[in-house]
Amino acid sequence: MSNIQQFQYDNRITRAFGTASFVWGLVGMLVGIIIALQLIYPSLNLGPWLTFGRLRPLHTNAVIFAFVGNGLFMGIYYSLQRLLKARMWNDTLSWVHFWGWQVVILCAAYTLPMGLTTSSEYAELIWPIDILITLVWVVFGINMFGTILTRRENHLYVAIWFYIATWVTVAVLHIVRSFELPVTFTQSYPLFAGVQDALTQWWYGHNAVAFFLTTPYLGMMYYFLPKAANRPVYSYKLSIIHFWALIFIYIWAGPHHLLYSSMPDWVQSLGTVFSIMLIAPSWGGMLNGLLTLRGAWDRVRQDPVLKFMVVAVTAYGMATFEGPMLSIKSFNAISHFTDWTIAHVHVGALGWNGFLTFGVLYWLWPRMYRTDLYSVKLANTHFWIGTLGIVVYAIPLYFAGWTQALMWKEFTPEGTLAWGNFLDTVTQIIPMYAMRAVGGTMFFIGTILGVYNLYKTAQKGNFLANEEAQAPARERHLAAADSEHWHRWLERRPMQMLLWSTVLIAIGGIVQIIPMVFIESQVPKISTVKPYTPLELTGRDLYIKEGCVGCHSQQIRPFRSETERYGEYSKSGEYIYDRPFLWGSKRTGPDLMREGGKYPDSWHYNHMLDPTTMSPGSIMPAYPHMLEDALDLSDLPAKITALRKLGTPYPRDFEKYAITNAQEQAKKIAANLTSQGIKDQNMENKEIVAIIAYLQRLGTDIKVQPASEK
C-alpha cells in the first residue's frame, strides 16, 4: 500500500445543515403548535396571512423540507464522505446546495402565508420555486455522484444505495408533479385534471413520504446506528432484499390515499395490495436496526443517542405497520378524513424523523467539536419529554378519529343521521385537540432543551472544520472475486445502481398513471358537466389561495352515511375541469362537494364574515377580508387561455369576454345578496361574490337535466 493518500473531510457543511435542521425544526414545530391552538381557539386566526388554511401547508413544508430536509443533507454529507473515503467532490457545489435550499425555504415561508400555493399537498410551492428546487436538487446530485465517482472505496455501502434511490426518485417525483402551465409569475394550472391529477398527486405525496422521509433516513440509520452502538450490522442479506423490495413496492402504494373515492376500483386495489406487501420490506429496515443492537442493549439504557435511535426505529416499525392496515378498505372507511391520519403521520414524523435527527445530532456535535456532550442528563430529559409528547399527541388524536368517524356513520333506527349537524362531531373532539396541543408543546420543549444542549456543547468544544483522513487510492478491480456475493458486483458500479433503481421505481408509476391518462373509458364523461364560468374560476382560485382544501374535502364516498349527509356520491366525470383537483384529505369541516344550492348566498356572506353567526360553535376562521378586498379579474384572460391550452373547452375568443362575463355574474350575485337583506354596498366588486359563485356551483352539474331529456 504505497499509494496512501491524505485528504480532509468537510465538517463545516455538515454543521451548516445540522444547524439549519434544528433552527427550522423549531420554526416548523412552533407553527404546528399555533395551528393546533387555532383549532381550539378560532380567534387565533389572525388576519388573512395567519389563518389555519395558509399556515397548515407552512407547517408541513417546514417540518418536511426544512427540518427533515436539512437533517437528511446533514446525515448524507457526513456519512457519504466517510463511507467513500473522499471529501465532497466540490466545496462550492456543497455551499450552493446549502444556500439554495435555504432560499427555497425562505421563499416558501413568504409565499405560503401570502396564499401563493398550488394546493397540492407537499407540492404547494409555486412554479418559480419548483424550478429553483429542481436546480438545487441537480446541484446536490452532481456533488453526490461526483464524490461517488472519485471515491477511494471500491464498494458502496447500503446507506449509499438508499441515498442514490432517494436522489433519483425525488427528482422523478418532483418533475412529474410539477407538470404545470404557468398563468402568471405566481400561478399555474396542472397538466392533469380531476382524477388524473389526484392520482399523480398521491403518487407524489405518498412517495414524498417514502423517498424524502424514509429512504434517506434509513440510509442514515445504517450509518449512524452501528457507529453509535459499535456493533456490526445484523444481516447483509436482509439489507439487499429489503432495499430492492422497498423501493420497488413503495411507489405503487399511492392510491391508498384515494380508497372509496372516484378513482377506478382497480387502481384502489393496487394501492391496497402493494401497501400490504410493503409491511415486510419496511420492517426489514427496522429489524436490521434493532437486531444490530444485539449485545448492546445494556448501553441503550445509558446512552441518549441510542435511546433516541431505538425509539425512532420502533416508531418507524409502528408507522409502517399501521400504514398498510389503514390501506385496507374497511379500516380506511373509518380512518380516512379523520384525525387518525394526523396521528399516524405524527408517529412517523415526530418518532422516526424527529428522534433519529436528534440522535444523530447528539452523536455528531460532540465529535465535530471534539468534546463530550454538555449534559447527558439534559439529553435524557429531552428524550423522556419528547417520548411522552409523542404519546400525548397521538393517543387523543386516535381517539378523536374513531369518535368522529363513528359519529359520522351513526344512524337512528328511523334512518336519519344521529349527528345530522356536522358541527356536533367537531365540538365533541375539541378536548382531544387540546390534549394534542399539549403533546406537541411537550415535544417542542424537548427540542428547545436539545438545541440548548448542542449550543453549550459547541461552546465548550473546539470545532474541527477539516478532519484529516487517509486511505489508499481506489484499485479498479471490477471483476468478481471468487465466492463473493452476487450483489457485490453491483456495489462496485454506482451508475448501474442508479439505472436499476430508476427502472424499479418507474414501473409502479407507469403502470398506474399511463392508462389513466390515455384511456378515455377510465373516466366516464357526464354530458351536463361544464367548465367553470370566469367568476366561478376566480372564486375557485380564491378557495385555493385560502387553503380551504386543508379542512374541506370535495369527495363524497359511496357510503349511505355520506350520501345522506352530503348528497349523491362523487363521480370521476364530475372533475374533468378541476385543475387542480380539490378532493382534500381531511374533514375538519364538512365535505363541500355538493355545497351548491344548499344555502342561500346571504348565508355564505354572513358565514364568511363570521362563521359562528350561522353555525354557533364553529371553529372555522372568519374571512372578513373577503368582504372588503377588491375582486381582481385582470388575470382572467390569461387563465382562460391557459386552461383552453390544457383542454378545457372554452369557446373561441372567450378570453376577450371573460371579464365582462364575470362582472355580469358578480352583479347578479350582489343583487341577490341585496334582495336577501345584506345591506352592504358595492358588493359586486369584492372577492366575496366570486367565492359565493364558486360555492354555489359546486356539485350542481349532475342535477341539471341534459338538454335532450328536457
Partner 1 sequence: MKSIKYLIALLLLLITAEGYSQTAPAAAPATSAQDLPSIMSWLLGIASGVLFIVAMIYIIKVNQFLYKRVIALEAQKSGMLLPSDAVPVVAQPVGDDFWTRMRKKYWEDPVPIEKEADIMLQHAHDGIYELDNRLPPWWINMFFITIVWAVGYMYYYHWGGNGLSQKEEYQEEVEMAKKQIAIALAGKANSVDESNVTIVSESSLVAEGELIYKNSCAACHGQLGEGGVGPNFTDDYWIHGGGIKDLFKTIKYGVPEKGMISWQAQLKPGDMQNVASYILSLRGTNPPNQKEAQGPLWTGDAAPDTSAVKTPGK
Identify which range of 61-69, 342-350, 368-376, 405-413 contacts partner 1 by CB under 8 A.
405-413
Distance CA 270, CA 251 (A): 11
Which CB atom, from 274 or from 393, has the smaller least distance to partner 1? 274
Identify which range of 348-356, 410-418, 448-456, 660-668 contacts partner 1 by CB under 8 A.
410-418
Distance CA 288, CA 280 (A): 12
Indicate which single residue of 1, 43, 301, 414 sits in contact with partner 1 (rule: CB under 8 A). Answer: 414
The CA–CA distances, whole Å, from 654 to 111, 504, 531 equal 31, 45, 12
- The string over 600-621, giving b where at least 16 C-beta atoms fall within 10 Å of a residue's C-beta and e elsewhere, is bbbbbbbbbbebeebbeebbbb
Indicate which single residue of 91, 410, 628, 632 sits in contact with partner 1 (rule: CB under 8 A). Answer: 410
Spatial contact of 112 and 57, defined as CB atoms under 8 Å apart? yes
Count Cβ atoms below 10 Å from residue 36 Cβ, excluding itself.
Answer: 21
Sequence-distant (6+) residues with CB within 8 A of 598 are: none
Which CB atom, from 70 or from 275, has the smaller least distance to partner 1? 275
Helical H segments across 115-155, by residue range: 127-149
Shortest CB 273 distance to partner 1, Å = 4
Comparing CA positions, the residue from 259, 438, 218, 447 lying closest to residue 350 is 447
Which CB atom, from 369 or from 569, has the smaller least distance to partner 1? 569
> Which helix (H) or strand (E) covers residue 175, if one does?
helix 158-177
Shortest CB 418 distance to partner 1, Å = 8
Rg (CA), the chain: 27
Count Cβ atoms below 10 Å from residue 84 Cβ, excluding itself.
Answer: 24
Could you tell me the three cell numbers for 194? Answer: 380531476
Which CB atom, from 411 or from 455, has the smaller least distance to partner 1? 411
Indicate which single residue of 409, 456, 474, 644 sits in contact with partner 1 (rule: CB under 8 A). Answer: 409
Shortest CB 414 distance to partner 1, Å = 5
* Residue window 225-244: x/- pattern of binding to partner 1, with contact defined by CB under 8 A: -xx----xxxxxxxx-x---
Shortest CB 239 distance to partner 1, Å = 7
Q: Cα torsion for 83, 89, 91, 93, to the nearest 10°? A: -110
Which CB atom, from 452 or from 603, has the smaller least distance to partner 1? 603
Count Cβ atoms below 10 Å from residue 700 Cβ, excluding itself.
Answer: 15
Q: Which of residues 114-173 bind partner 1 (CB under 8 A)?
A: 153, 155, 157-158
Identify which range of 50-58, 143-151, 380-388, 596-604 contacts partner 1 by CB under 8 A.
596-604
Comparing CA positions, the residue from 172, 180, 163, 20 lying closest to residue 105 is 20
Shortest CB 325 distance to partner 1, Å = 11
326 contacts partner 1 (rule: CB under 8 A): no
Shortest CB 431 distance to partner 1, Å = 19
* Residue window 606-625: x/- pattern of binding to partner 1, with contact defined by CB under 8 A: x------xxxx---------
Indicate which single residue of 420, 524, 649, 651 sits in contact with partner 1 (rule: CB under 8 A). Answer: 420
Identify which range of 134-142, 208-216, 449-457, 602-610 contacts partner 1 by CB under 8 A.
602-610
Which CB atom, from 292 or from 554, has the smaller least distance to partner 1? 292
Q: Which of residues 197-226 bind partner 1 (CB under 8 A)?
A: 223, 226
Task: Report CA 462 to chain centroid distance, whole Å.
Answer: 38
Q: Which of residues 255-314 bind partner 1 (CB under 8 A)?
A: 260, 265-266, 268-269, 272-274, 276-277, 279-281, 283-284, 287, 291, 294-295
Identify which range of 387-395, 412-420, 534-542, 576-584 contacts partner 1 by CB under 8 A.
412-420
Give the count of alpha carbons within 13 A of 291, CB side only.
12
The CA–CA distances, whole Å, from 83 to 137, 425, 650 equal 21, 53, 57
Tell me 260's DSSP state.
T
The CA–CA distances, whole Å, from 551 to 396, 554, 625 equal 19, 10, 19
Which CB atom, from 330 or from 682, has the smaller least distance to partner 1? 330
Q: Amino acid identity, residue 433?
A: Y
Q: Which of residues 654-683 bind partner 1 (CB under 8 A)?
A: 676-677
Which CB atom, from 92 or from 427, has the smaller least distance to partner 1? 427
Shortest CB 683 distance to partner 1, Å = 16
Indicate which single residue of 7, 95, 145, 331 sits in contact with partner 1 (rule: CB under 8 A). Answer: 331
Q: Amino acid identity, residue 38?
A: Q
Distance CA 705, CA 710 (A): 6
Which CB atom, from 385 or from 678, has the smaller least distance to partner 1? 678
Distance CA 567, CA 3 (A): 76
The CA–CA distances, whole Å, from 26 to 21, 64, 249, 349, 393 equal 9, 12, 34, 14, 17
Shortest CB 277 distance to partner 1, Å = 5
Shortest CB 280 distance to partner 1, Å = 4
Shortest CB 390 distance to partner 1, Å = 23
Shortest CB 409 distance to partner 1, Å = 5
Q: Which of residues 554-583 bind partner 1 (CB under 8 A)?
A: 558-561, 563-565, 569
Which CB atom, from 158 or from 627, has the smaller least distance to partner 1? 158
Give the chain's end-to-end CA distance (angstroms, integer): 90
Give the count of alpha carbons within 13 A of 388, CB side only.
10
Which CB atom, from 81 or from 120, has the smaller least distance to partner 1? 81
Which CB atom, from 9 or from 444, has the smaller least distance to partner 1? 9
Distance CA 705, CA 259 (A): 30
Residue 106, exposed/middle/buried by CB under 10 A (0-12, 13-18, 19+)? exposed
Identify which range of 77-85, 182-190, 341-349, 630-638 contacts partner 1 by CB under 8 A.
77-85
Which CB atom, from 258 or from 636, has the smaller least distance to partner 1? 258
Which CB atom, from 327 or from 457, has the smaller least distance to partner 1? 327
Identify which range of 408-416, 456-464, 531-539, 629-637 contacts partner 1 by CB under 8 A.
408-416
Indicate which single residue of 598, 625, 644, 667 sits in contact with partner 1 (rule: CB under 8 A). Answer: 598
Q: Which of residues 480-519 bind partner 1 (CB under 8 A)?
A: none
What angle separates helix 687-697 from helix 654-675, to the nearest 10 degrees? 90
Could you tell me the three cell numbers for 612? Answer: 359562528
Distance CA 574, CA 524 (A): 9
Which CB atom, from 62 or from 259, has the smaller least distance to partner 1? 259
Sequence-distant (6+) residues with CB within 8 A of 692 are: 539, 601, 604, 605, 669, 673
Total site size for partner 1, rule CB under 8 A: 80
Shortest CB 64 distance to partner 1, Å = 28
Could you tell me the three cell numbers for 450? Answer: 436539545
Sequence-distant (6+) residues with CB within 8 A of 187 are: 116, 126, 541, 635, 639
Which CB atom, from 108 or from 278, has the smaller least distance to partner 1? 278
Shortest CB 678 distance to partner 1, Å = 9
Indicate which single residue of 2, 43, 415, 479 sits in contact with partner 1 (rule: CB under 8 A). Answer: 415
